[in-house]
Structure 1
Amino acid sequence: FDEELLAILRTYHRPPEQTITLVTHVQHPYEISQEMAEAMRKIKSLGIDVYNQQVFTMQNCRKFETCFLRESLKGIGISPYYLFNLKGKEETADFKVPVARLLQEQKEEARLMPGLVRTDKPVFNVPTLGKNELNAWQDHEIIMILNDGSRIYEFYPWEKYMAPVNTYVYKDTPIYDFLRRLEALGENPDDYKTIWYYF
C-alpha cells in the first residue's frame, strides 16, 4: 500500500456516490503483523471500511482463539464480518469442524465480548445456494443423526417461498471424531462437552 495505490483508492472512493470496501481473509491472530497494521492505518485514513471473513477450521477453532482474532482485528481497524463453516468438500476433510462447534463458539465465547467486536455472522456457504446464516433457524434443520454421530442437515434457500429451488443436504463432521482430534492436539475434550447441545 504505497502512495501510488493510495492515490488510486482516493480517486475512486467518493462516498456516497461511489465507495470502496476491502475484505480480508485473516484466519488466525498470528497473521496480524506490524506491516498489516500500518497498511490498515493508511486505508482507514481514506475512510475506507475493511471487513474480515474467517473460515472456521481445526487450526483456529480452539476455545477463545476466534475471540482473540476479533479483538486483534478491531485493534487495527478491521471489523469481523463472516465466520464461515468450511464447505463440505472431500479435499478439506482435515480442516473441517462440526457446525455445532461454530454455534458453540458464538453462544459461549463470542457473546462475552463487546457488541462492536463480535460483529461477525456465522454462515454456511451452501454450494449452488449461497450463504446460509446459521443463526437463522428457519433456513436449515437437522434431519438425521447417523451411527457415527454425524448430523445430517438440510439447508433451505432464502428463495424457497418465491421460486422452486432445491434444498441442499449436508453430512457434517462427527462430533466424536472432532473431539478426539482436539485431544490429539493437546486440548481437553471436557472443555467442549456442551457442543452436543448445538444443532
Structure 2
Amino acid sequence: DLVDEFGNINAWEKEDVVEPGKPNEAGWILPSHNIHRRYPNVAIFIPDTMGRACGGLCAYCQRMYDFQNGRFNFDLDKLRPKKTWSEILHESMVYFRTDPFLEDILITGGDALMSSVSSLKQVLDAVLKMARDKKRDNEVRLPEERLAEFRRVRLGTKLPIYLPQRVTKELVAVLEQFRLDAKEIGISQCIIQTHFSSAMEVSVDSAKAVRRLLDAGWAVTNQEVFTVAASRRGHTAKLRQVLNDIGVLPYYTFTVKGFKENRELFANNPRSMQEQNEEKSIGRVDYRYHSTLRSFIADAPNMVEHIESIRSADEVPFLATDRNTINLPGVGKSNTYRTIGLTSDGRRILEFEFDHTRPHSLVIEKMGSVVIIESKSVAHYLRQLQQMGEDPAEYASIWGYSAGRLEARSTVFEGMSK
C-alpha cells in the first residue's frame, strides 16, 4: 500500500502543513517548515542539518508526508536551505523566545542524533541562549506580562535502537554539559525520546547507549508504534518490562496513523483500548507512589534503581507510565472516542474528542471533535493476527470496545519545577 500510495500521501496531521506566516490547522502562525506546533506550551523544532535525514525510514513514519515532498531525504544539495542555516536558527529561536506560552521544545527530524556532534551542539547552544534570554526578558516585565520560561528540552531519535554506537563519548560530553548549563536557568527536564517497538530490539549495545545517556543526566523515554505485529497479546507489556530493566520510561503507545498507505500496519483503535485495559493495567502504579514518580526525570543517573524500587514495592512487572493514544488530524493526541457508524466493508467510523487534560488553542477548542474512518475492519485485523499464528479467540473482547477514554498523563512526566 505504501508503494502504491507514495506520491499521493496527504498530511494526516493537518497541522504539519506549514505555510510561513499563515495559521496552521491548529491556529498557530509559524515562521518556517522548521517548526511544527499543535499545543500552546510545546513545539517541535526540525533543524536544517543532517538531522533532517533519517537512517530508520520506518514505513509508518509520521513524517512520510514530508519525505514525499522532498524535505527529508539524503539529497543534501536539494535540502540546502535558501536562507543560511544560521539565519534560520536565529529566526526560529526568536520565535521560541518571544512566544508567551512555549516552555517545552522537542528537537527532532528526521532524527536529532543524525546531526554531527558539532551541529547538534550548535543547536543546543542556541536553545540554551534562547532560554536564558527569555528568562532575562522576564526580569524587566511586570508579573502579569511575563512569558512562560523553558522547563523541558527533548531530543527525538531512533539511533539508540539501530545504531547505538552513535552514542559516543563525544556526544555524551556535549549532552552532559548542556544538562548542567540548562539546570542553572531552570530547565529541569532533559529527555531523549526514542522508539523501541519490540523487546527484541533491546540489544546489549542499546542498553549500553541508554546507560551512557542516563549517566549524562538525560532521562530516556519511549514511544512505541502499535503496529499489527507489536499489538499481539503481551508484546507491549513485555516491551515495557524490558525497557524498565534498562532505565527507560514508556511515554506513548501510538496507534499507527495515516490513510491507505499504512493500512497493513494499522492495528485498530479498539485493540489499543483493549491493551490498555486488559494488559497494561497490571503495571498501573498505585496512587501512593505518584509523588515519588515526579522526581525520576530530574535524577536520570539513578533511573534503574528508581524504577525498580516501585516495581518491587508495588509488586508489578513494569511501570505503566505510557498513554495509549493516536495523533489525530488537527486536534493532537487523544484516545477518547465513540463509534458512530460502519462503512459497507465493516470499517469503524470513530468520533474523537480532544485531550481535555492539556491546553489547546482556541481553534481546537472550538473544533470540539474529529471523525476518522479506520483504514480496515476489525475482522481484517484479526485475520492478520491469525496469519501471524495468533488465536483470534484470545482477542474476542475487542468487539466490545466501541468507545474509549484517554488515560491521565503519568505524574512522572509532570515533575517540571515552577
Of the three residues 170, 190, 199, the one matched with 2:393 is: 190
Matched, 1:181 2:384: yes
Task: Measure how far apart 1:46 and its partner are.
Answer: 2.3
Q: Could you say if the C-alpha distance between residues 153 and 160 of structure 1 is closer, same or farther in structure 2, counting changes exceeding 3 Å? A: farther
SS in 2 for 1:53: strand
- Tell me if 1:150 matches 2:347: yes
Q: For residues 144-181 of structure 1, what are the alpha-carbon distances to aligned partners after superposition, in whole Å with 9 as ceiling and x for unaligned?
A: 13343322112234559875337422112311111111
Secondary structure of 1:20's match?
strand
Query: Residue 187 of structure 1 aligns to a residue in which SS?
Result: coil
Q: Is the 8 A contact 2:221 2:251 kept in 1?
A: yes
Greater strand content: 1
Equivalent positions of 1:53-72 (< 5 A) are: 53-72=223-242
Kept in 1, the 8 Å contact 2:339–2:350? The answer is: yes
Give runs of ≥4 in structure 1 deviating > 4 Å: 158-163
Contact 1:88 1:170 in 2 (8 A): no
Instruction: Please tell me whether the aligned partners of residues 176 and 217 of structure 2 are also in contact (alpha carbons under 8 angstroms).
Output: no
Q: Distance in 1 between matches of 2:266 and 2:284?
A: 28
- Give the match's secondary structure for 1:164: helix
In structure 2, the partner of 1:2 is 168
Aligned length: 194
> Cα distance, 1:95 vs. partner?
0.2
The answer as to 2:256 corresponding to 1:73 is no
The 5 Å alignment of 1:50-199 reads 50-113=220-283, 115=285, 117-132=319-334, 134=335, 137=336, 140-158=337-355, 159=360, 163-165=365-367, 167-172=369-374, 173-199=376-402
Aligned-partner residue type, residue 4 of structure 1: E
Query: 1:62: how far off?
Result: 0.7
1:20 CA drift (Å): 2.0
Amino acid at match of 1:26: F
Structure 1 stretch displaced more, 65-74 or 121-130: 121-130
For the 8 Å contact 2:340–2:350, the answer to whether it is kept is: yes
TM-score scaled by structure 1?
0.89
What is the rounded CA distance, in whole Å, between the counterparts of 2:372 and 2:284 in structure 1? 33
CA distance in 2, matches of 1:100, 1:141: 10
Residues 109-160 of structure 1 show CA distances to partners (whole Å, capped at 9, x for unaligned) of 111235362111011100222111x2xx4xx322113343322112234559
User: Please, what TM-score do these two structures have when normalized by structure 2?
Assistant: 0.44
Partner of 2:191: 21
- Report % sequence identity: 32
Structure 1 contact 157–165 (Cα < 8 Å) conserved: no
Q: Tell me, what secondary structure is at the counterpart of 2:176?
A: helix
Root-mean-square deviation over aligned CA pairs:
2.0
Contact 2:173 2:216 in 1 (8 A): no
